[in-house]
Amino acid sequence: MPIHCLYISYDGMTDSLGQSQVIPYLIGLSKKGFSFTLISCEKEENYTANKEKISKILSDNNIQWIPLNYTKKPPIFSTLYDIYKIKKIAAKLQQEQPFSVVHCRSYIAALVGLQLKKRFGIKFIFDMRGFWANERVDGKIWNLKNPVYKIVYNYFKRKEIEFLETADYTISLTHNAEQEIQSWTSIKNNPIKIQVIPCCVDLDLFNPKKLDAQKLQILHSTLPLQKEDFVLLYLGSIGTWYMLDEMMEFFSVLKTKKPQAKFLFVSKEEHERILITAEKYGVKDSIVIRPGNREEIPYLIALSNYSIFFILPSYSKKASSPTKQGEIMAMGIPIVCNTKVGDTDKVVKDYNSGILIDNFSAKDFANAIEKMDNTFFDASKIIQGAYDYFSLEKGIEKYNDVYQSVLS
């Protein structure tokens, strides 16, 4: 008899995040005897484009999906309305067919899980995904000089402690965040159960040995890249946290050392911003932008010599696990990245999988570029790092261990 579980995500399954960081785990856990009902909040544009594909994937794996509309405006009140909708349907489902576990992805979902735990005694897994309230401040989404945002921030910091203390198990993306949490006075006096599971990668998809050589050649021919070009890759969105100016300055320094360098952006958004920033640093003619679907991403990574990501270092980033790191390492490509982001430093050092930058100065960039020329990076060791640290199968096993523990 399958164990009936409720999974709540404020992120949509028709978003790329839901497709890479929720659905694969639920499919894996479904094969281990768990039956899922999934509640998510879907953005209208993504839902319209992807609902049929996602519905089929989920129904094929016996996952019951209840998509709700994501309310965008006005700020705060829209989120409160979404929380109300999720609470209402979750309580109704619990009364109709009781769940053994409620698994909540991040803080908005955890508000619902906490209520279900208190009202029905259901086992509650808090999958925190990061220090959410601090992320809103560090990312300049919430200005604490605004009294409304100050109240909301303080509310979620209090709730954060309550989630951690009440949850039957907490999931952290990084060891760095786990250590930080266990050092907090209220937690230190009453240690909690935390399992570290980073943003994992489908190593069947991100596997250089499984690439079709002809398909790779055709893709290369569609891009303004020459065989002799040195290709630096940026993969993913250009959002609040990714330091586009600093990455572009790095590339401008690289260009002086390697005139044949090209900067390939694999990104679905902000194309104009990328080009405006490139023009500012005098490298616009060396920029190549190509959006890619999930199946194309491994091929696009394979076209690069190096990859780069600079993430704004801040308190909240202790808890971050960049999905792109695992995907790029799985393809055997070395990375240039900055320190003070989750467990990134440790993984890079443990597997010699790239070059770490402490400061964003022209001198630091020049030193890193010199290391690029003088350091041998073993692709097989980098790939092994992806298998050891970012394997989706290992992530599913860890989640299975957590579920078994809370149910025992």
Q: What is the pLDDT of residue 66?
A: 98
* Secondary structure class of 196 (helix, strand, coil): strand
Distance CA 353, CA 67 (A): 39
Q: What is the pLDDT of residue 213?
A: 96
Domain ranges of the chain: 3-200+392-407, 208-390
Domain 3-200+392-407 shares a fold with domain 208-390: yes
In tens, the pLDDT along 299-356 reads 999 999 999 999 999 999 999 999 999 999 999 999 999 999 999 999 999 999 999 9
- Given a contact cutoff of 8 angstroms between Cβ atoms, the answer to whether 302 and 270 are in contact is no
* Joined tokens for residue 220: 């290369």
The residue among 252 and 241 whose pLDDT is bigger is 252
Count the Cβ atoms, other than its own, within 10 Å of residue 189: 7
Q: Which helix (H) or strand (E) holds 356?
A: strand 354-357
* Joined tokens for residue 89: 């349907």
* Joined tokens for residue 337: 């990245």
Orientation angle between helical segments 23-30 and 392-407, nearest 10 degrees: 60
Percent of the chain with pLDDT over 90: 93
342: left (phi over 0), alpha (psi -120 to 50) or beta: left
121: left (phi over 0), alpha (psi -120 to 50) or beta: left
Distances (CA, A) of 83 to 10, 79, 243: 9, 6, 32
Please say if the pLDDT value at position 278 is more than 80. yes
- For 46-122, where are the E strands, in sequence order? 64-69, 101-105
What CATH number was assigned to the domain covering residues 3-200+392-407? Answer: 3.40.50.2000
Q: Count of residues for the chain?
A: 408
Q: What is the mean pLDDT of residues 229-239?
A: 94
pLDDT confidence tier of residue 293, bands split at 50, 70 and 90 = confident
In tens, the pLDDT along 58-67 reads 999 999 999 9
- The overall average pLDDT reported for the chain is 96
In tens, the pLDDT along 12-42 reads 999 989 999 999 999 999 999 999 999 999 9
Please say if the pLDDT value at position 188 is more than 80. no
pLDDT confidence tier of residue 239, bands split at 50, 70 and 90 = confident
CATH 3.40.50.300 for the 208-390 domain, yes or no:
no
The structure tokens 């005098």 sit at 282
Q: What is the pLDDT of residue 190?
A: 81
Q: What is the mean pLDDT of residues 275-291?
A: 97
Please say if the pLDDT value at position 275 is more than 90. yes
The residue among 97 and 396 whose pLDDT is bigger is 396
pLDDT confidence tier of residue 138, bands split at 50, 70 and 90 = very high
In tens, the pLDDT along 170-186 reads 999 999 999 999 999 88
In tens, the pLDDT along 189-213 reads 788 999 999 999 999 999 999 999 9
